[in-house]
Structure 1
């Protein structure tokens, strides 16, 4: 009998040794598996999966502590289905029992987590949990996050050996996370350098300001993995920032919106002249009125606003980046290259503005030269020709011939008036700091080229800068922008032509394309607005279909009130 007892005890010890050996082997495999990855997201996922497997826990989670050191910026789970996660609602922020491990970064084992004084209970659709094991993960003596494990299978409690195994895994996890962060930082730095080089190359190749803004926003969104990126710039006469370009989820709704200085990250960053971050935009008062973060059912995730330049009105604008709920917060490692990129972007925008000013000066000088040539050469020669014809008319005896000569002199007189009016338009309109209708129309057509995919054909005729009143010119530019925008969104055309003509007491704007035409049952709210705008100034707006297909829209208005 004594021998049987000794043999049974020996078998138990052998089983324990085998179990310890298997557990050590599993631990080594987990360490190797975790250390093999270089992508930080994959490393974190492997850590929590390995931890749950090592201690046979039904549920596991890894909480990444945010920059404030008090709350969780990211929460990865194992054991919960997607349906359960959706039913539970917002991810934990690090309060209650989870916060206890954050505030006291030491291993914590509980037989009944509900009995702990820091426990706040579970949400309505949260699965029941009883046993608990929490262990911090340190990276270079800094607490990076915590491993949370609950409900050891078999209904038993977590023991000292479980705690030792997970503590050992957390040490290896800290090294793996550090390596992944260093690798990720180096890769990110390379992407930022490539983006800066691309922006510089775009500027040197003569890209327009809208194209540069689009490139800045797109590259920043791609590198940071943001859900939405937009650039808001200060505008004279507007109490806020105007969203000049947006890309990502809901970008169409952001374009052209005014971002207030108060209640927005963009406004705060613009005034402070430094980056402003939000751990969760949906619960941050500074993001209450921020476009792209308000009114979201799933809540808005981390966000950062980086000024393009210095604080105040002299700043070039603000770049806002917003991530989805549950994504990691913008840490110090990301902010430093992002600020450098924003500084480079500000320089790029300044260069674009300086180049535009230089082109404008060159244009004005060229217009002055043309005006001088018209005055000194064309007008003088036409005047001399008119005097000669007047003298010759007196010598012509045939009454019909004399009449024709007189009409020719009158035509020359009218031509001289037109040239003088043109000279006046060339010399005065730009000197007053207000671009003429010709320049504004050309700019609107040029800005529409990227969205259309090809440059529209533009023709202009008549004294657009002198005969068209400013209020009518404003209507024309607004109508032209709306028609080109509609063509880009709906026409699917390969050719768009714009004709602008002033004469015979009216101005006529015609936009035609070879696209799919305007469907009879389609939305016409935009066209009704254009018709109302025409009627408001005594004009008309017509929609037609040429024989070759497409559409032809004509907007006309008198040059004088009631004309």
Structure 2
């Protein structure tokens, strides 16, 4: 009669202890859930937040394996896949990350919690790839960010061998809500940080360009900063080749050996060139995006970025800052070019003014002084005084020669990139008419503008100017004929006058040394003779590279 109540009391105590243990377990689990929610909310780097979410989910439901799949821009496949519980060796053996088919795709198409006691029994399952660890029990829940499905949590193989229960599903659903908030915050932070980095990069490139930096350095900086900000593995700036079609790589970071390589016609960069707008695609190495660097309505270059294989695809929200950066640097490049053109124009105008002043003021006065001294020489009876006057005249001639060479150097740099050799020859002959008192004859034959190198063109003009100046000073000629002929193998300049001929005075011949040196520099020669009883013929001949 006494033992029955004692047994009943023992049963009640056991039941009470079980309830206390269950309550303690529930309390501990709630505590762990709160810790997990706080943990995933601490990070601001999106990659770090995603990693914490999947680790916390696996710990909360005691799962051996966990994964978080990020849904790509197309809404049908996975663009990113983070795992827990799978070793690097197993990942290597499995191969590429899943793209969102089978059971994983079931949650993408139907974003609702899913629990399975045996994965292989579900109609959507079609097995695991070789090397994949065996999995039976499964639970998955979607993660929503502002009512949009961001991705899914996948958990498999409860460590105690049991099935995932209602409580596991409820805990994961609660964590998914907190994960959505954490992901949204991380995205906003990354977007703000990325925008600041784009602005800083644009300002850096603009400063480099406007401070006179070399364009190739600025292009390299554009590629480097775009690669850093987007996390791309490869950044390429490609330009249309002169007179050709398609695109050729001008800068590739970090693969400098790709410079000069033509991009495929069906690639994203060439599609940008054809359409003018940004293009996202799956490149040979991984996700790729290409944006134009536009000047007016023309695409002057294309910036293409590629992430590593298996990396996240370029999202729509990443395109806006990238396109804005490309537009900013394109405007900066155009402004830098115009500023350089304006500075060059100012330099050229200043050179032209200096050359004009030297020609119109200095040379004319020196020439007049020399003529005066020559006229006075015949009235000087004293031999030493006459010799001094002659040396003074020679010094003046040499000074005029130096000044004329300086004038030619100034003007040849001014016009070499804008005018052909024929135009410059006509101008040089025309300018000599002032000194000669008449217009020389000019004959030109052969390809002078396209076949004569710039250095040879500069020298033939210098020789012509000096030869005409010598005729004006010494020959007392009434006519001069100039011929410039390119026969395809040689360039020959001939200056023929009907003057008094070359004097026997060796000092006067020394003034031709500079012309001979110019010919020798090109492997040519200078000749001087009389075509008849009067006059002088100067020949200057150099070979042309074939």
TM-score > 0.5, shorter chain as reference: yes
Gap change, CA 1:166 and 1:317, over 3 Å in 2: same
Q: Given the alignment of the two structures, is residue 368 of structure 1 paired with residue 352 of structure 2, yes or no? A: yes
> What CA distance in whole angstroms lies between the structure 2 residues aligned with 1:310 and 1:73?
34
Q: 2:318 aligns with which of 329, 334, 345?
A: 334
> What CA distance in whole angstroms lies between the structure 1 residues aligned with 2:407 and 2:270?
49
Q: 2:263 aligns with which of 235, 255, 259?
A: 259
Greater CA deviation, 40-49 or 215-224? 215-224
Q: 1:301 aligns with which of 278, 286, 290?
A: 286
Gap change, CA 1:332 and 1:391, over 3 Å in 2: same
Q: 1:505 aligns with which of 519, 523, 541?
A: 519
Q: Given the alignment of the two structures, is residue 351 of structure 1 paired with residue 326 of structure 2, yes or no? A: no
For the Cα contact (< 8 Å) 1:58–1:153, is it kept in 2?
A: yes
For the Cα contact (< 8 Å) 2:358–2:403, is it kept in 1?
A: no
Match for residue 177 of structure 1?
183
For the Cα contact (< 8 Å) 2:366–2:396, is it kept in 1?
A: no
Match for residue 169 of structure 2?
163
Match for residue 473 of structure 1?
none
Q: Given the alignment of the two structures, is residue 111 of structure 1 paired with residue 126 of structure 2, yes or no? A: no
How many corresponding residue pairs? 435
Using structure 2 for the length normalisation, give the TM-score: 0.70
Greater CA deviation, 135-144 or 87-96? 87-96
Q: 2:152 aligns with which of 143, 146, 153?
A: 146
Q: How far off its partner does 1:381 sit?
A: 4.1
- For residues 359-405 of structure 1, the C-alpha deviation after alignment (integer angstroms, 9 at most, x for no partner) is 22213312322332343234434544554565467678979969978
Match runs of 1:386-397 below 5 Å: 387-388=371-372, 391=375
- For residues 200-225 of structure 1, the C-alpha deviation after alignment (integer angstroms, 9 at most, x for no partner) is 44445443433433333333222222
> What CA distance in whole angstroms lies between the structure 2 residues aligned with 1:409 and 1:202?
49
> What CA distance in whole angstroms lies between the structure 1 residues aligned with 2:187 and 2:62?
29
Q: How far off its partner does 1:81 sit?
A: 1.6
> What CA distance in whole angstroms lies between the structure 2 residues aligned with 1:305 and 1:84?
34
Q: Cα RMSD between the aligned structures? A: 3.5
Gap change, CA 1:427 and 1:380, over 3 Å in 2: farther
For the Cα contact (< 8 Å) 1:379–1:416, is it kept in 2?
A: yes
For the Cα contact (< 8 Å) 1:241–1:267, is it kept in 2?
A: yes
Q: 1:100 aligns with which of 106, 116, 124?
A: 106
- For residues 497-547 of structure 1, the C-alpha deviation after alignment (integer angstroms, 9 at most, x for no partner) is xxxxx9543559xxxxxxxxxxxxxxxxxxxxxxxxxxxx99xxxxxxxxx
> What CA distance in whole angstroms lies between the structure 2 residues aligned with 1:211 and 1:562?
33
Q: 2:274 aligns with which of 271, 286, 295?
A: 271
**Which has more radius of gyration?**
2
For the Cα contact (< 8 Å) 2:142–2:149, is it kept in 1?
A: yes
- For residues 480-513 of structure 1, the C-alpha deviation after alignment (integer angstroms, 9 at most, x for no partner) is xxxxxxxxxxxxxxxxxxxxxx9543559xxxxx
Q: Given the alignment of the two structures, is residue 429 of structure 1 paired with residue 416 of structure 2, yes or no? A: yes
Using structure 1 for the length normalisation, give the TM-score: 0.68
- For residues 93-116 of structure 1, the C-alpha deviation after alignment (integer angstroms, 9 at most, x for no partner) is 112221111111111112222233
Greater CA deviation, 340-349 or 392-401? 392-401
Match runs of 1:520-539 below 5 Å: none
Gap change, CA 1:123 and 1:216, over 3 Å in 2: same
For the Cα contact (< 8 Å) 2:288–2:304, is it kept in 1?
A: yes
Gap change, CA 1:217 and 1:85, over 3 Å in 2: same
Q: 1:467 aligns with which of 459, 469, 483?
A: 459
Q: How far off its partner does 1:2 sit?
A: 5.3
Gap change, CA 1:256 and 1:382, over 3 Å in 2: farther
> What CA distance in whole angstroms lies between the structure 1 residues aligned with 2:231 and 2:73?
18
Match for residue 36 of structure 2?
30
Gap change, CA 1:415 and 1:180, over 3 Å in 2: closer
> What CA distance in whole angstroms lies between the structure 2 residues aligned with 1:393 and 1:39?
93
For the Cα contact (< 8 Å) 1:272–1:311, is it kept in 2?
A: no
Q: How far off its partner does 1:146 sit?
A: 0.6
User: Aligned to 1:237, what secondary structure does the other structure show?
Assistant: coil
Match for residue 82 of structure 1?
88
Match for residue 13 of structure 1?
19
Match for residue 521 of structure 1?
none
Q: How far off its partner does 1:467 sit?
A: 2.8
Gap change, CA 1:365 and 1:403, over 3 Å in 2: closer
Gap change, CA 1:203 and 1:92, over 3 Å in 2: same
- For residues 401-422 of structure 1, the C-alpha deviation after alignment (integer angstroms, 9 at most, x for no partner) is 6997897688578658746754
